[in-house]
Amino acid sequence: MKHFTKNELFELRNHIPISALIADRLNVPSKISEGQFRFLCPLCGEFQTATNPKTNLARCFRCQKNFNTIDMVIMCENTSFVDTVRTLKAYRQTLQHKTQEAPK
């Protein structure tokens, strides 16, 4: 089992916008309603959800659960922790490329 540093995991949890991960990478159905980003909860299949940009957590009000970026990937793709970290690292790199290439 490969170990990841606390700092690596912190960055993956906090520096990948969770709504972008949900909509763009995981292709989870999502919508904006009442000014809030809502996604289809993979557990209960309802849209009673929101994301908190401050904590970078996704929440389902029906399940009364918070999900971080790592939880979301594990739930949606059924991957192991190690594979999930790899997925998030790769996704973070694509985000960084986008930022660098974006015209000013």
Q: Given the rule CB under 5 A, which residues bind Zn ion?
A: 41, 43-44, 60, 62-63
Long-range CB contacts (< 8 A, 24+ apart) of 89-98?
Answer: 89/8, 89/12, 91/16, 91/21, 91/25, 92/11, 92/12, 92/15, 92/16, 95/16, 95/17, 95/20
User: Which residue, 66 or 93, has its beta carbon nearer to Zn ion?
Assistant: 66
User: Least CB distance from residue 23 to Zn ion, whole Å?
Assistant: 17
User: Which residue, 62 or 92, has its beta carbon nearer to Zn ion?
Assistant: 62
User: Least CB distance from residue 87 to Zn ion, whole Å?
Assistant: 22
User: Which residue, 43 or 90, has its beta carbon nearer to Zn ion?
Assistant: 43
User: Least CB distance from residue 45 to Zn ion, whole Å?
Assistant: 7
User: Which residue, 43 or 82, has its beta carbon nearer to Zn ion?
Assistant: 43
Cα→Cα distances 27→37, 46, 64, Å: 14, 15, 22
User: Least CB distance from residue 34 to Zn ion, whole Å?
Assistant: 18
Angle at 47 between CA 45 and CA 49, to 5 degrees: 110
